[in-house]
Structure formats: structure tokens, C-alpha cells
Amino acid sequence: MTTPSAALAPAERAVQLLGGDLSEVALRRHLEGLPAVDAVGLEARAASLGTRSIKTSSKQAALDLTIRMIDLTTLQGNDTRGKVHSLVAKALVPDASDPSTPRPAAVCVYGDMVGNAVEALGSAWSNGRDDGINVAAVATAFPSGRASLPVKLQDTRDAVAAGADEIDMVIDRGAFLEGNYGKVFDEIVATKEACRRTDGTFAHLKVILETGELVTYDNVRRASWLSILAGGDFIKTSTGKVQPAATLPVTLLMLQVVRDWERLTGERIGVKPAGGIATAKDAMKYLVTVAETCGEAWLDPHLFRFGASSLLNDVLLQRQKLTTGRYSGPDYVTID
Amino acid sequence: MAFLDYAPAPESTSILNLRDEYRLWIGGEWVAGGGASFASVSPSTEQPIATFATADEGDVDAAVRAARTAFRTVWGPMSGRDRGKFLFRIARILQERARELAVAESLDNGKPIKETRDADVPLVAQWFFHCAGWADKLDYVGLGAAPQPHGVAAQVIPWNFPLLMLAWKVAPALAAGNTVVLKPAETTPLTAMLFAEVCEQAGLPAGVVNLITGAGETGAALVRHPDVDKVAFTGSTAVGREIAKALAGTPKRLTLELGGKGANIVFDDAPLDQAIEGIVNGIFFNQGQVCCAGSRLLVQENVHDAVLERLKERMATLRLGDPLDKNTDIGAINSSEQLARITRLVDQGEAEGGERWAPDCELPAKGYWFPPTVVSGVEASSTIAREEIFGPVLSVLTFRTPDEAIAKANNTPYGLSAGIWSDKGSRVLAVADKLRAGVVWANTFNKFDPASPFGGYKESGYGREGGVQGMQAYLKAGK
């Protein structure tokens, strides 16, 4: 499964919105002119969306949808071929006791593990088709992003060459907090270009904001908008290596940004909360937030993903409960 | 099935243990009323819930006498610390029975269970906890040492927040050492009767709280009773005016919390998404049947279109229906009379040139329903910009400068609430300073706290409920 990414000139969105002589000043003015975010109000709205009660048939649908939106992830220094194979096996057969269980959207690994993941997926690897499992790779000196641009770009190219369908890049948070928006912008544009495959198509680009380091909601809104202008296909909350990672208010805010972008341009950008979403109950709060903010069109793995590892098993337990009427336990789902 | 057609998630009514018939609760006894009994119906289904007694003049007299006796013999002489213990006990029982009370309130009033569960009932308990804390600290309410209670308080409350308004009235009165006779509205007497059970459970001495039911005549007899020392009324300005006339020349103390036509002012630098939420909360909370509702949206002209577009989009996600469903945002209108009033005023607003819009939502066949509605292009002179509608109807007006916003916001006989939406702190403070409204919310709306005084300017009434000021209303300076 691949999201169609049109082969645009990388910064075309920015040029269209801000004019031909794209300058850092114009970019700064644009970002700083975005409407403010009131933290209390944003958090209150997120909390109120979190009180929706999703039961019976709605819950069933939400659980399956959640699985289809998961980027099943392992991003550890001690990842091995065996670990990646095990993760892929879990993605291929999430629940052996129920063959109707859908598969996650992608497996997400470090760049050097992409080849292993592709190999382990075999014919289930999407490789450009819309019915398989994608391989997503983190790149650009993930998670800190503290490396020179050539190193970041080579990191990206390597992953794409190895078969990555999706690249999860990190922005330079230091540059962003210094107010050096142009540097952040240029790096995203360059990374997008590095996602270009030999046949001219692009690997799908997710831009990680690391909202836990940007801290304020105003920063999150500006970084989201900047990432979209620079060509990101998805905006993603976190690496999972910094606390807090994804939160419902931050995700709500990013969903408001992509909704506003669609209102302005007609184009749909994806959102991926990552890190800290461990239960089916939490996941359903996110789905409610997506649907009530952007509409049901966004309830699609092309436009919304969960970056998660332990979430899948909790969803499977809930799913089994709905099917059998009984709660089982952690030994009734497999570890990956 | 589309995702947003959430499967029904009804809160069960099995937790309720209602009687078929409720009598008056006077002097700790359930006694029959002299008047004809009446039924309270569930506004969402028109099904009767139970029958209630009507207190006639004799019953009112009995209730006031019971309150006087309790004041003289038990509650008046009791130490503040001991009164506080009773109030803390009541507060805890209210929390223990929170779900039951939330279900009962939703059933009787028609408001969504989401609101009774997350707003009404938690606030009710909070109010009792807050006032319980005051009971032994009355020396610090600002009336000098050893302030004294008035004696018997007659309290008449409306149907929009039945149990919460009871708490606003009963908790400070008891904490200050008064005894009370309270009459709930005739369309929503149920939770007051459950509160009688709570008082019984708490072992509250007989006669300290007396609850009598009935319509306007019962209330009129109560506030006019010669042995009443203090009257507190929340309701319409018309009735408030009658009460003020009736009490003129008597030594009775009076506080009135009446109508409102709150302005919600949105400046062009407002946090837009949050302002939309605030507008929605301001006018659609409790179907807009809120005296402090932000029923007049004043939006700066240069962001009018953007605000209206987003507001309509947001309104389309509001879920109207079974109040007991946990996902319902908009419940039923409390009565057919209220529904008729809303309908009439909105029709008039449209006839006067307002542009009416409501999202496409199906109204249930049974019950009293009105869709969330926005009327734009309203002028300051329009009827719906001036009269309190008390329903889910927002009138939209525009302004160009802060001065114009202030002038338009203040241009009403009412003065209960206002909201300001701006990212600029200095502007918020400057505008708030000039608004003649008892409560001004900045970048939020409909926030209540027992420590914060609430009340009106002008025809919205006088006196304050909540905070130090709320306690003062039930006390006089000591000797």
C-alpha cells in the first residue's frame, strides 16, 4: 500500500501560497501570522472528545480500523534481523486465532533494517501496490537529527534504495527554536528530494516534529504548517524517544492544521501520532478526534496512522473480547 | 455504518429507584399537598415520570413553621463546626449517588447525561463541599465577628439546572445557619425529591430543609409568607420583578438572579478554533437554556465569514437526540411552552431579516426538540438581539472596533455574562473592565466555581451567589 505522491517540485506548495520569490522573511511572517492557540481551550476540547462512548458495532469497526492504521514499530539500538523478522511475522498474522484480523499499514524500522523487513515481508510487501504492508524507515539521523545535511540525506537515500516505502524524518528542533525556519524548511525540501526513487516516484515523507521538544502549541502549529509547506505528506508528533510523545491535544491541533490546509488548497495531508498510545481505549479517542475534526475521509490509513508497538496487542485483546464475550489475558496474544 | 453514526450508548436507568408519587417534604415528613397533584414528564419522550404534590397556602405555612422551629431549636443554636459536618456529609452522599442523580436529572430535564454527569452533579457536590468549609469560618466573610443568619430562607429555583440551583441556594443558606423552604420548578421537581432522601440519609435534623412542589402560585405564597426572613429567586425577570414588588416595604432580604442576553465578543486575533468551541459551549450548553448563555455573538467584521463558516462546520457535528445517550450533545427542550417560545422568537427573527441556519439533523418524533440554530445578519435593534430566547439559538452581530463591541455588548437591559476572545491580554483586560456584566469570561465560557461570585447587573438581578459574596447574602452583621 502506497500513498500516491505526485512528483511535484518539492517546495511548490510554499511557492503557490507565499509567492515566487520565496524568502525566509516571507516564511517567518506567514508562520507567525497564523492564528494563536489557546492551550486551555485546546485541552478542554480534546478532553471532551475523549468522553465519546464507542460501543458494540462502532467499537468493532474502530478496533479493525485502528489495526489498519498502525505502523508497527521497533526502533531500538539492539534490533536484530531476528527481531525485525519477528515484528514482520506479527504484522502478517496479528492474531492466529482469527484470520479475519486485518493487518497493520506498515512496519517501521531503522534504515539499516529496511532490507530485512522487505525480505521478511516477501510477497506481502506492498512495493507500490495498495494492498500490501509498507516498510517505513526512520531517517535523517533519527531521533535527534543532529548530523550534517549530507549525512541526513544519505541516510534517507539508503533507506529508499533498500525499499522503504515511507520515510519518517525528524526536523531540526534546535534550528526551529532558534527561529531559523528557513533551515528547517530547506532540510525538509532536500529530504523530500532524497525520497525520489530512480523511476521518478517518491517514497512517502512523514515529518516528525518532536512536539515534546517544541513544547508550546503555537510552536506545534507553526512547525506543522512549515512541514506541509515544505512538502511533507504526513506530519507526525514524535519520535517516541522524548516525553511527552503523542498527546490528544497535540494531535487535535495537528488535525486542525491539516483540515485548514484542505480548506485552503483542497489537498489532504496525513497525521501520525506516535509514542505512548498503548490501549485500544486511547486509540478510539484519537479516531473520534480525527472524525469530528477532519471528517470521516481522514479515517483512512493514507491519512492517519498510529506509531505504536504495544497498542496492537491491546486492540487484539479487545477484539477477542468482542468476538468471544470474554476477556482473555496477555498470554492469548503473541509477542513480537 | 459510518463511523460517526456512533452505536447507541445509553446510560441505564436501572440505577433509579423512583416512587410513583412524591409528596411534600416538610419537617422531615412526607406529607400530602393540599393542591391538585401533577405529573412531571420526560421532555424527550413526553412520558410521565411520577406525580408530585401541589403545596397550597396551608402547606406553605406548615413548611415555613417547620423551618422556623428548626431554626430556633436546632440549626440556629448549632455550632458552625457541627453544621459543617452535616454539609460535608451531604456532599459525600451526593458524590456517592452522583450517577443516579445524573440519570434522574437528565430524565426529568431533558439535558444530555454528558452534562449532568460531567457538569451539573459534580458542581452540586463541589458547592456543598465549599459551603461546608465556610460553616465554621463565618467570622471571615467580611461582616465582622459572629455574623448572624437571617432565619428562614424561602428559595424558588428554575428548571434549567434543577439540582445545581438547589445547591447554590441550600448550601450557603445552611452553612450560614439559616433553615430553608425551597420550591423547585414544576417541570423539574424530581431531583429535589431525591435531595430530600439525601438529607434523610445524612440525618439532617427535621425542618432544616423543607421541599415543597407546585407551580407559580406555590412560589408566590412562599415568598409572600410573613415569617420568611430572606428570599432568593432564580428565574425570569418578569417573575423577579413581581417578587421585588411584593417584598417592597417588608424587612425581607432579597436576592434575584434573572435573565440575560450575554455577549460573546470575538476579536480578529482570537484563537479561532478555541473561540468556535467557546461559542458552541456558550450557546448550546444545556440547549441554550442558561441565563448566562452567550446568546449574542459579536464578531469583528473582518473575521465574520471565517468564524461563521467554521461555526457551521462545527455545529454539523453536534449530536441531537436521546438525552440519556452518552454521546448526545443536544438534548430536549424542557417543555412544550418553552419550545413554543423559542419557535416564536426565531420565526420573528427571521421575519425581521435575520438569516436562519441549522445543520441537517433529524428531530425525534416524540418530545420537545429544537435544532441548534444560528441567525446571522442580526442588527442590534432586532427582537432576537434583545429578548432572551432561552434556547439553542445564536444571534450573530458584527462590530468594527473595540469601542463598538463594548457599546453593543452593553446595549441590553440585562447584564449577567459576557465573553471575550482575543490573544491580546491587554485588550482582554481593557474590554472586560468596561463590560457591565456580572461575569466576564476571557477565552472561555460557562465556567463555574463555588469560590467565584455569580450574579447580574441591571435587569439580570441583584445579589451574588458563590464566593464570599454568596455567603454574605445569607448573613447579617453580628450585634
Do B189 and B47 share a domain, yes or no?
yes
The DSSP letter of residue B146 is S
Provide the pLDDT for residue A7.
Answer: 32
User: How would you write the pLDDT of chain B (479 residues) with one tens digit per residue?
Assistant: 799 999 999 999 999 999 999 999 999 999 999 999 999 999 999 999 999 999 999 999 999 999 999 999 999 999 999 999 999 999 999 999 999 999 999 999 999 999 999 999 999 999 999 999 999 999 999 999 999 999 999 999 999 999 999 999 999 999 999 999 999 999 999 999 999 999 999 999 999 999 999 999 999 999 999 999 999 999 999 999 999 999 999 999 999 999 999 999 999 999 999 999 999 999 999 999 999 999 999 999 999 999 999 999 999 999 999 999 999 999 999 999 999 999 999 999 999 999 999 999 899 999 999 999 999 999 999 999 999 999 999 999 999 999 999 999 999 999 999 999 999 999 999 999 999 999 999 999 999 999 999 999 999 999 999 999 999 999 999 87
Neighbours of B37 (CB within 10 A): 16
Per residue in B339-360, is it b (16+ CB within 10 Å) or e — as a string? Answer: bebbeebbeebeebebeebbbe
* B2 part of a folded domain: no
Query: Could you tell me if B292 and B439 are in contact, meaning their C-beta atoms sit under 8 angstroms apart?
Result: yes
Mean pLDDT of A54-60: 95
Provide the pLDDT for residue B170.
Answer: 98
Do B128 and B148 share a domain, yes or no?
yes
Do B276 and B233 share a domain, yes or no?
no
Do B166 and B308 share a domain, yes or no?
no
Do B396 and B462 share a domain, yes or no?
no
pTM here is: 0.95
Contact B273 A35 (CB under 8 A): yes
Could you say which residues from 48 to 107 on chain A have a Cβ atom under 8 Å away from some Cβ of chain B? 51-59, 61-62, 65
Contact A287 B3 (CB under 8 A): yes
Provide the pLDDT for residue A6.
Answer: 31
Phi, psi at residue B35, to the nearest 5°? -90, 180
Interface-testing mutation among A34, A37, A38, with chain B (most B C-beta atoms within 10 A): A38
In this complex, is the C-beta atom of B2 within 8 Å of any C-beta atom belonging to chain A? Answer: yes
- CATH T-level assignment (fold) for domain A12-325: TIM Barrel (3.20.20)
* B11 part of a folded domain: no
- What is the DSSP code string of A126-187? -TT-SSSBEEEEE-SSTTT--S-HHHHHHHHHHHHHTT-SEEEEE--HHHHHHT-HHHHHHH
Contact B7 A62 (CB under 8 A): no
Provide the pLDDT for residue A26.
Answer: 87
Whether pLDDT at A3 is above 80: no
**Which residues of chain A are within 8 Å of residue B9 when distances are taken between CB atoms?**
53-55
**A5 confidence band (pLDDT: 50, 70, 90):** very low
A138-153 confidence digits (pLDDT tens):
999 999 999 999 999 9
Q: Which residues contact B365 (CB under 8 A, 6 or more apart)?
A: none
Catalytic residue among B105, B291, B459, B465: B291
**A19 confidence band (pLDDT: 50, 70, 90):** confident
Query: Could you tell me if A248 and A283 are in contact, meaning their C-beta atoms sit under 8 angstroms apart?
Result: no
Q: Which helix (H) or strand (E) holds B304?
A: helix B304-315
Query: Is A236 noted as a catalytic residue in this protein?
Result: yes
CA B213 to chain centre: 18
Residue among A38, A52, A65 whose CB faces B327 most closely = A52
In this complex, is the C-beta atom of B449 within 8 Å of any C-beta atom belonging to chain A? Answer: no
A73-115 confidence digits (pLDDT tens):
999 999 999 999 999 999 999 999 999 999 999 999 999 999 9
Do B216 and B287 share a domain, yes or no?
no
Q: Which residues contact B205 (CB under 8 A, 6 or more apart)?
A: B28, B70, B74, B75
The C-alpha cell at A170 is: 525528524
The C-alpha cell at B116 is: 449532568
Query: Could you tell me if B111 and B330 are in contact, meaning their C-beta atoms sit under 8 angstroms apart?
Result: no
The C-alpha cell at A141 is: 539521523
The interaxial angle of helices B80-96 and B162-176, nearest 10 deg, is 160
CATH, residue B321:
3.40.309.10
- How many beta-carbon pairs under 8 angstroms link A with B? 75
CATH, residue B82:
3.40.605.10
Q: What is the ipTM of this complex?
A: 0.94
Contact B423 A36 (CB under 8 A): yes
**Which residues of chain A are within 8 Å of residue B425 when distances are taken between CB atoms?**
none
In this complex, is the C-beta atom of B278 within 8 Å of any C-beta atom belonging to chain A? Answer: yes
Residue of chain A nearest B424, judged by CA positions: A36
Contact A296 B326 (CB under 8 A): no
Task: Parse chain A into domains and list their residue ranges.
Answer: 12-325
Rg (CA), chain A: 19
* B92 part of a folded domain: yes
* B451 part of a folded domain: no
Query: Is B291 noted as a catalytic residue in this protein?
Result: yes
In this complex, is the C-beta atom of B248 within 8 Å of any C-beta atom belonging to chain A? Answer: no
**Which residues of chain B are within 8 Å of residue A296 when distances are taken between CB atoms?**
2-4
Provide the pLDDT for residue B479.
Answer: 75
* B202 part of a folded domain: yes
Neighbours of B434 (CB within 10 A): 14
* B272 part of a folded domain: yes
**Which residues of chain B are within 8 Å of residue A292 when distances are taken between CB atoms?**
4, 317
The C-alpha cell at A229 is: 509547506
Do B312 and B431 share a domain, yes or no?
yes
Sheet with strand B393-399: strands edge to edge: B355-357, B373-376, B393-399, B296-300, B263-266, B417-421, B439-442
Residue among A37, A41, A296 whose CB faces B3 most closely = A296
* B423 part of a folded domain: yes
A233-286 confidence digits (pLDDT tens):
999 999 999 999 999 999 999 999 999 999 999 999 999 999 999 999 999 999
Q: Which helix (H) or strand (E) holds A109?
A: strand A106-110
Residue of chain A nearest B275, judged by CA positions: A41
Domain that includes residue B90, residue range: 21-258+458-476
Contact B6 A58 (CB under 8 A): yes
Whether pLDDT at A4 is above 60: no
* B102 part of a folded domain: yes
Could you say which residues from 286 to 315 on chain A have a Cβ atom under 8 Å away from some Cβ of chain B? 287, 291-292, 296, 299
Do B208 and B285 share a domain, yes or no?
no
Task: Provide the number of structural domains found in chain B.
Answer: 2
Give the whole-number percent of chain A exceeding pLDDT 70.
97
In this complex, is the C-beta atom of A36 within 8 Å of any C-beta atom belonging to chain B? Answer: yes
In this complex, is the C-beta atom of B271 within 8 Å of any C-beta atom belonging to chain A? Answer: yes
Do B171 and B289 share a domain, yes or no?
no
